[in-house]
Amino acid sequence: MEMMMDIEKMKQEIPVVKALSAAKEVTWINPKKTDMETAKTRISLTNEDIEDVSARLKRFAPLIMKLFPETEDRNGIIESELSEIPQMKEVLKTVYGADLGSARLFLKRDSDLAVAGSVKARGGIYEVLKHSEDLALEYGLLSGYDDDYTKLASPEARAFFGERKVQVGSTGNLGVSIGMMSAALGYQAIVHMSADAKQWKKDYLRAHGVTVIEYAGDYGKAVAQGRADSDADPMSYFVDDENSKALFMGYAVAAERLDGQLKAAGVTVDEEHPLFVYIPCGVGGAPGGVTFGLKELYGDNVHVFFAEPVQACCMLLGLATGLHSQICVQDAGLTGQTHADGLAVGRPSGFVGGVMEPLLSGEVTVEDAKLYDYMRELMESEQLFIEPSSCAAFEGAVQAAKSAEIRGYIEACGLTDKMKNASHIVWATGGKLVPQPVRDVFMGTHL
């Protein structure tokens, strides 16, 4: 009852909370965002942390290439394409009245990342590799950082990892990335999946030797049980999506890779050429990590907005109230249920929320029906498929062109006359592994 009283008070004092609790689509500008110089004094993470991750992924590249031959074209580095989508830009203008003018619109296709087919291939795979490196160095499977990491694919190494477990709680895509990498190295991989997880993701994991435990409840219950099971087993390692620094930093490397792709596309990012990025958000780890990397690289010249479903807008609720992980969407009278399975999270990561507070430009929320519309329009205009939850990011691009809130933000940042030189990136977070029959169902879904 006390929380209900608090929520009623919050609704009166924080207008966006009232709108969120009514499941309305909102565009919210983060009042606590600071300039990058000030933000750095409040965040313990640094660019050195990103460099450490990058170096580790390079050390593992020969092993990844051996375990996953589809990564050979990139020499064992798991990376995705950056594609300009001018036809979709035209759709946003004609169908949604969102005119981006002469600015360029791109799709960052983490939906196509090798091994896991989603943005989770970054953080999830990285954390499994880091844990494996720690064990391998401690137990003498590797003699040092300059050793041959393909040794970790040997029968001896597989037997060593086979005595150990890696566990994670997931709504879907993180489970796929953790499960696939853990199983490939020989671990006993266990994924605790919430009711929101799609059946095909469970089937896919089981087909690759991963144990899937299903829960009738939401993401939070799957995580809590997974953590409890893992903590009770000294040979088990739990990947904590809510609080893991390793997971978060694995996503941050995306920025340095993107930088080369933008240069190749002739895109400059500086005071005269702002970059606007829109990322779907669930618990916050992936979008938070990517945002941190982008801000480290481009500072005040990049502007990042998260997109969440109206019924599962946990990060926005946590940021707007300042309560972070101490509040969940159910407290605000929302269900937490959404067709965007990867975003079906009721309680945000407190760790990520704290890091995002001075960095994030704002958020948008979106109704489920629009996700399918954006998905079909992208397919029809660009012949590119991404899953519905990925499509939440398009709402960010639409509101950047239409909403009074983001127009006001642009003005406050002194960017009004520079938007003609801007570039916009919609970050696609999943889709490659969706089976064709499921794609066909998605394409025919009208809510």
218-227, 260-269, 385-394, 405-414: range with lowest mean pLDDT: 218-227
At 316-328, the pLDDT tens digits run 999 999 999 999 9
Residues 125, 99 within the same domain: no
- Alpha carbons 221 and 230: distance in angstroms, whole number: 14
Residue 163 confidence (pLDDT) above 60: yes
Residues 282, 270 within the same domain: yes
What's the structural domain count of the chain? 2
Residues 262, 402 within the same domain: yes
| 78 close to 34: Cβ distance less than 8 angstroms | no
Please give the helix or strand (H or E) that residue 199 lies within, else none. helix 199-207
Residues 252, 236 within the same domain: no
Residue 174 confidence (pLDDT) above 80: yes
- Alpha carbons 266 and 423: distance in angstroms, whole number: 11
65 falls within a domain? no
Stretch 279-303: mean pLDDT, rounded? 97
Domain termination site, one of 183, 215, 247: 247
Tell me the C-alpha to C-alpha distance, in Å, between residue 375 and each of 109, 424, 430.
14, 18, 12
Stretch 123-135: mean pLDDT, rounded? 97
| 274 close to 265: Cβ distance less than 8 angstroms | no
pLDDT at 4: 54
Confidence label for 159 from pLDDT (cuts 50, 70 and 90)? very high
In percent, the amount of the chain with pLDDT more than 90 equals 92
Q: What is the mean pLDDT of the chain?
A: 95
Residues 259, 365 within the same domain: yes
Q: For the domain that residue 194 is a member of, what is the CATH number?
A: 3.40.50.1100
At 224-260, the pLDDT tens digits run 999 999 999 999 999 998 889 999 999 999 999 999 9
pLDDT at 203: 93
Each residue of 275-290: b (16+ CB within 10 Å) or e?
bbbbbbbbbbbbbbbb
Tell me the residue range of the domain where 144 lies. 119-150+158-247
Helix (H, G, I), strand (E, B) or coil at 391: helix
pLDDT at 3: 58
98 falls within a domain? yes
103 falls within a domain? yes
434 falls within a domain? yes
Residue 162 confidence (pLDDT) above 70: yes
Residues 320, 401 within the same domain: yes
User: What tokens does 388 get?
Assistant: 């519905």
55 falls within a domain? no
In percent, the amount of the chain with pLDDT more than 70 equals 99
Stretch 289-313: mean pLDDT, rounded? 98
Stretch 66-92: mean pLDDT, rounded? 97
Stretch 417-446: mean pLDDT, rounded? 96
| pTM (whole model) above 0.75 | yes
Annotate 260-308 with DSSP letters as a single string: HHHHHTT---BTTB-EEEEEE-SSSHHHHHHHHHHHHHHGGGEEEEEEE
Residues 242, 175 within the same domain: yes
Residue 442 confidence (pLDDT) above 90: yes
Each residue of 306-318: b (16+ CB within 10 Å) or e?
bbbbbbbbbbbbb
Residues 287, 417 within the same domain: yes
| 49 close to 36: Cβ distance less than 8 angstroms | no
At 352-395, the pLDDT tens digits run 999 999 999 999 999 999 999 999 999 999 999 999 999 999 99
84 falls within a domain? yes
Confidence label for 171 from pLDDT (cuts 50, 70 and 90)? confident
Stretch 282-287: mean pLDDT, rounded? 96
pLDDT at 5: 54
Q: Please, which residues bridge with residue 85 across strands?
A: none
53 falls within a domain? no
Stretch 400-418: mean pLDDT, rounded? 98
Domain termination site, one of 247, 262, 293: 247
Residues 236, 327 within the same domain: no
Stretch 97-111: mean pLDDT, rounded? 98
| 229 close to 165: Cβ distance less than 8 angstroms | no
Residue 1 confidence (pLDDT) above 50: no
Residues 294, 404 within the same domain: yes
Domain termination site, one of 198, 229, 247: 247
